[in-house]
Amino acid sequence: MGTASSMLTQYDIEEVQEHCDHLFSQQEIVSLYQRFCQLDRNAKGFISSDEFLSVPEFAMNPLSQRLLKMVDGINFKDFVAFLSAFSAKATAQHKIELIFKVYDSDRNGKVSFNDILEVLKDLSGSFMSDEQRERVLSQVLKEAGYTKDSSLTLDDFIKVLGQSELKMDVEIPVD
């Protein structure tokens, strides 16, 4: 299942569907496999950081370095599982779990004030000063019932973001 020259069997497709909680149709999985094989230029069965950066939309994303930590060396099944958070069928919790992982760059299961500040810096670039970012973030946390010293868990993220309509849907073109 890992090389560009191989084809997906019906069993492979069903296994991948199971792995991603059936958030993609069989046709979408085949399309994703074709795209995976295009990115896996050396047919190694995984995609490297450099290969991900060959996708202009990915390379231009202000969070690309954080995302690279999550996807470097990813195989096809995990590639589909990662993308499943962007499926129109994904639950809000599934989407929030991905967002949490983006913020929790040290993978300790907690997001600190500084973790959020770093993401805010990535997103705002030079448009905001460090002082402005700290003020904005302190105010947002205060309004949500947290302080600068709080560490947010996944449950906290679900509590705060679970009420919103997260739009992270990506359409998978099928031939």
When mean pLDDT is compared across 22-26, 111-115, 156-160, the lowest value belongs to: 156-160
What's the number of domains the chain is made of?
2
Domain match, 108 and 81 both = no
Domain match, 74 and 126 both = no
What pLDDT is recorded for position 76? Answer: 96
CATH number where 17 lies: 1.10.238.10
Is 2 a member of any domain? no
Domain match, 159 and 147 both = yes
Cβ atoms of residues 26 and 13 within 8 Å = yes
Q: What angle do CA 101, 107, 17 make, to 5 degrees?
A: 50
| Rounded-to-integer distance, Cα 38 and Cα 48, Å | 12
| Rounded-to-integer distance, Cα 114 and Cα 7, Å | 45
Per-residue pLDDT tens digits for 7-36: 899 999 999 999 999 999 999 999 999 999
| Residue-number span of the structural domain to which 149 is assigned | 91-167
Cβ atoms of residues 120 and 133 within 8 Å = yes
Domain match, 79 and 65 both = yes
Which of 29, 54, 89 finishes a domain? 89
Rounded to whole angstroms, what are the CA distances from 168 to 56, 97, 171? 18, 12, 10
| Rounded-to-integer distance, Cα 102 and Cα 118, Å | 11
**How large a percentage of the chain has pLDDT more than 90?**
58
- Tokens, residue 102: 């983006």
Which of 67, 89, 111 finishes a domain? 89
Which of 24, 59, 89 finishes a domain? 89
Per-residue pLDDT tens digits for 34-93: 999 999 998 999 999 999 899 888 888 899 889 998 899 999 999 999 999 988 899 888
